[in-house]
Structure formats: structure tokens, C-alpha cells
Amino acid sequence: MMLRRVFISLACSLACMAAFASSGVASTTKATPKEETIIDAMRSQPIFGQLRLLGDTASMTKASTRKPIVAKIDISEQRMNVYVNGHITHSWKVSTARSGYYTPRGEYAPYRMHTMWRSRKYNNAPMPYAVFFHKGWAIHGTTSISRLGRPASHGCVRLHPDNAKTLFKLIKSAGGMKSARVIISN
């Protein structure tokens, strides 16, 4: 604990020295070559996040650059609306479970993504741009484009391959699976 306080104190002192040195204000003492090296190194490093005091310790937190992505699937409409930061950006036809099969309802966080996956359960069927959200269920592209807009799948949420690619890239660019949610309702 004591070492952590010393480190924080040293870091704060060095940051103050760097700020003072870069301000152009004349100083009565000159930095030693070792201090100059430290100050130059600090100037060359980008500063991310902010220093937060937590009791007698400090932690560095990264500034959030994530854009929350929400894919809302309406089973009765056979449609997916994609929201970025709360604003709708895409609306696509989908196919969910046909009679005898089930698409799970609820809110999920994606846990696995693959640019190409093959179904182990259904004859090695291609699942391009698969975003797995619950057990083996995924949102993915399909070659059965003519069936989009009506129930046709074994339970997954099927999209046009171009739309699946768009969703996949959107999730990746927004910070990955941690920044995405899948909501399925009737």
C-alpha cells in the first residue's frame, strides 16, 4: 500500500514537472539529464483516460469510445432494427424459426462471432457473419434470400448476407461483443 502511494506521488510530481516544463515558464532550477529524459518520455506518450482517486489509491480508466449496438428482432414482423447509440440505423427483413422450431425470446449479449461458421447440427450449412447470442442460436447470413420476411429457419435469425456482414462489421467497429445487445420479442 505504501509503495502504491509513493508511486502515485511520484507520477503526480512528474506530471506536474512535465506540465510546468512545457508551459515555457522560466524556472530557477534546471532539470537533470535523467529528469529531462523522463519529461521527454511523458511528452511523447498520448494520455488516455483520467486519473481517479479511490481512497488512498488511484486507477487509470480508459475513456469510453464504445458505441452501443442493439439489434432488435420482432418475430411477428420478421424484421430486425439496428440501433447505434439509441438511433435506428438499419431495418432489415429476417427469417426466424419456422413451425416446429423455436427462436428464443429475451435480451442477450453476443458471446462469439465468426466470419464463416458451419452448422454442426444441420448438414454443415454455411452461416456467414455469424453472431452467436444464446447457446447455439445466432444471427447470420443465408443463401435463402427469397424466404426472408417469413419464418423459415431452424431457430437462428437469418439475414441477407450483405446485411449480416454490415451488422458483423458494425459490432466489431463499435468495440466488439461487449458493446452489443440482441433483443428478440414477439
pLDDT one-digit tens code per residue, 20-57: 444 444 445 566 665 665 555 544 444 444 444 444 44
Range of the domain at 33: 2-61
Instruction: Please give the Cα distance from 40 to 22 (Å, whole number).
Output: 10
pLDDT of residue 40: 57
Same domain, 39 and 87: no
pLDDT of residue 35: 63
Same domain, 53 and 83: no
pLDDT of 178 above 50? yes
User: Does residue 12 contact residue 19 with C-beta atoms inside 8 Å?
Assistant: no
For 134, the grid coordinates are 444464446
Same domain, 44 and 77: no
Summary mean pLDDT of the chain: 79
pLDDT of residue 34: 58
For 89, the grid coordinates are 440505423
Q: Enumerate helices (H) and strands (E) in the chain, giving the number of each.
A: 3, 11
Same domain, 55 and 75: no
Our count of domains for the chain comes to 2
State the average pLDDT over residues 119-139: 95
The long-range contacts involving 39-44, CB below 8 angstroms and separated by at least 24 positions, are 39/14, 42/14, 42/15, 42/18, 43/18
Instruction: Please give the Cα distance from 162 to 180 (Å, whole number).
Output: 19
pLDDT of 132 above 50? yes
State the average pLDDT over residues 65-76: 87
Which has the higher per-residue pLDDT, 109 or 64?
109
Determine if the pTM surpasses 0.75: no
Same domain, 33 and 98: no
Q: pLDDT, tens digit, for every residue of 136-172?
A: 999 999 999 999 999 999 999 999 999 999 999 999 9
Same domain, 34 and 83: no
Same domain, 108 and 37: no
Same domain, 104 and 169: yes
State the average pLDDT over residues 71-80: 98
Same domain, 50 and 80: no
